[in-house]
């Protein structure tokens, strides 16, 4: 009777909920945490009880509802797919034609699901779940109750065997169990930088391969935590493109790619920590040599990191020598906080401009952040129809200051452009990028203005005198333009 009543109440609740929300939902399983089984033996009846883990029961319910969840999730992705598709096309136009847009969209969708997990953070795991009693005690207790009812003679309960008596004159010694020590934070000293280590013959390996070579393939990134003093260079988008082009890594290799010096990993392999390790797989390293331009970027990055570390050490030393330096350090920290807040507002502005540019539908212009740095973009401009630049495509770099949009960005041609108002270094003579800049301008208006400038130059203040002299003869200008064009 009780089971029938509960099922009836469940059906009433489900019907009421469906009426309120006006949606057609499927009835979930009526999962009982406690299952009773009655075994009859003659006139006497004995009841045994089995229990189900609540987590398992909820996972069964999740299994039933999972198809509905999947349909709803796919509906959400279909709703926002136009943004991902336009973003992937934008990346392909600005980064390179070899970019696989399908893979980029799938990776973005997977990242959305990974970030959605943060909505349900994991709590502290406890051994005893509240509301669930140990099954053994309850089962034994019910067996005792049933046996009491079946027999007129009361059953003697079994107690603990009497222990040895402890005299009161002897003090009782209690041993306090040692508490486990909390895990200490890993001390990270940072890389030991030596500029002489980088040259044309230096060989590098991917950090992921070094992790596998030293037998730590199951713990991604373990090598960086265990050996924080290793040389480590984080590859940017340009570096990843070169690595993928040379087949050192996949085109969609992930968000981060670190390069280590092969010599460091080889030294670790013969050290006492790894030389007897059975999981060593040094053939996983696959070392390679990088071009000069990448070595120069490594040197700049490591010099900047060393300079920051030296500045921090000097600040710490000055505080130890002079207590009054603490106040100046606090003021400096306050300034850093305000700078970070300013960068946050600029980042939001740039994110909005990126969305506006992708959804604008303007033909012949596009732009996208070059890497994880939102303050540096790569733009693309196609020559307007009816001009000598028709059919030509130019790439530009856009760097935004921390004071944007109240300060103009630095814009220059990456693709050499033969034009009266563009110099040999790619810098552009355009009034809205200088004295006539306004906070009302955005990336879209900048690209449209430069596209218009290609067909309508200002010959009164030329930066390229040769181009300004040829502009009057459009045929000669077009011939020279196409002969010198390099994409």
**Residues assigned a catalytic role:** 429
> Packing angle between helix 292-321 and helix 237-245, nearest 10 degrees?
140
Beta pairing partners, 422: 419, 428
Nearest to 459 by CA among 424, 413, 422, 484: 422
Phi-psi sector, 54: left (phi>0), alpha (psi -120 to 50), beta: alpha
CA angle 330, 333, 335 (to 5 degrees): 115
Burial (CB count <10 Å: 0-12, 13-18, 19+), residue 84? middle
Give me the torsion for CA of 306, 308, 312, 318, rounded to 10°: 90
Nearest to 267 by CA among 205, 219, 217: 205
Q: What is the C-alpha to C-alpha distance for residues 210 and 203, in angstroms, rounded to an integer?
A: 13
Strands (E), 288-375: 288-289, 365-369
Q: What is the C-alpha to C-alpha distance for residues 458 and 456, in angstroms, rounded to an integer?
A: 7
Q: What is the C-alpha to C-alpha distance for residues 13 and 21, in angstroms, rounded to an integer?
A: 12
DSSP state of 210: H
DSSP state of 352: H
Q: Which residue has the tokens 């900048």?
A: 446
Q: Which residue has the tokens 């990776």?
A: 107
Q: What is the C-alpha to C-alpha distance for residues 387 and 482, in angstroms, rounded to an integer?
A: 13
| Sign, Cα dihedral of 288, 293, 294, 299 | positive
Instruction: Count helices and strands (H / E) in the chain.
Output: 13, 10
């Amino acid at each position: 009777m009780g089971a029938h009543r509960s099922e009836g109440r469940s059906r009433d609740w489900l019907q009421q909920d469906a009426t309120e929300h006006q949606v057609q939902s499927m009835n979930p399983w009526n999962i009982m945490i406690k299952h009773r089984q009655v075994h009859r033996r003659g006139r006497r009846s004995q009841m045994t009880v089995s229990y189900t883990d609540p987590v398992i029961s909820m996972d069964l319910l999740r299994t039933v509802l999972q198809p509905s969840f999947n349909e709803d999730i796919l509906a959400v992705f279909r709703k926002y797919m136009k943004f991902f598709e336009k973003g992937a096309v934008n990346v392909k136009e600005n980064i390179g034609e070899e970019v696989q847009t399908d893979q980029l969209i799938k990776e973005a969708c997977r990242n959305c699901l990974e970030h959605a997990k943060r909505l349900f953070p994991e709590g502290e795991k406890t051994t005893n779940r509240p509301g669930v009693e140990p099954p053994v005690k309850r089962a034994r207790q019910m067996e005792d109750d049933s046996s009491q009812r079946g027999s007129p003679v009361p059953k003697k309960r079994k107690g603990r065997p009497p222990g040895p008596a402890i005299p009161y004159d002897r003090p009782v010694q209690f041993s306090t169990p040692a508490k486990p020590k909390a895990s200490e934070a890993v001390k990270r000293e940072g890389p030991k930088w030596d500029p002489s280590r980088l040259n044309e013959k230096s060989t590098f390996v991917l950090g992921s391969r070094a992790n596998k070579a030293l037998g730590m393939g199951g713990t991604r990134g373990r090598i960086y935590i265990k050996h924080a003093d290793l040389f480590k260079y984080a590859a940017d988008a340009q570096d990843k493109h070169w690595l993928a082009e040379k087949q050192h890594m996949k085109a969609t290799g992930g968000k981060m790619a670190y390069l280590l010096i092969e010599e460091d990993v080889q030294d670790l392999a013969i050290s006492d920590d790894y030389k007897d390790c059975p999981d060593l797989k040094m053939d996983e390293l696959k070392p390679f040599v990088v071009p000069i331009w990448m070595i120069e970027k490594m040197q700049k990055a490591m010099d900047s990191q060393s300079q920051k570390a030296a500045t921090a050490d000097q600040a710490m030393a000055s505080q130890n020598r002079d207590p009054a330096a603490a106040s100046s350090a606090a003021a400096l920290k306050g300034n850093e906080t305000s700078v970070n807040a300013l960068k946050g507002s600029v980042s939001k502005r740039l994110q909005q401009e990126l969305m506006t540019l992708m959804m604008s539908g303007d033909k012949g212009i596009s732009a996208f952040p070059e890497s994880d740095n939102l303050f540096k973009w790569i733009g693309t401009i196609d020559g307007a129809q009816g001009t000598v630049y028709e059919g030509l495509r130019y790439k530009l770099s856009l760097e935004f200051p921390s004071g944007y949009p109240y300060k103009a960005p630095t814009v220059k041609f990456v693709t050499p452009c033969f034009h009266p108002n563009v110099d040999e270094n790619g810098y552009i003579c355009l009034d809205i990028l200088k004295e006539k800049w306004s906070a009302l301008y955005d990336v879209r208006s900048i690209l449209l203005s430069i596209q218009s400038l290609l067909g309508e130059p200002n010959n009164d203040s030329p930066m390229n005198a040769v181009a300004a002299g040829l502009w009057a003869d459009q045929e000669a200008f077009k011939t020279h333009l196409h002969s010198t064009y390099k994409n």
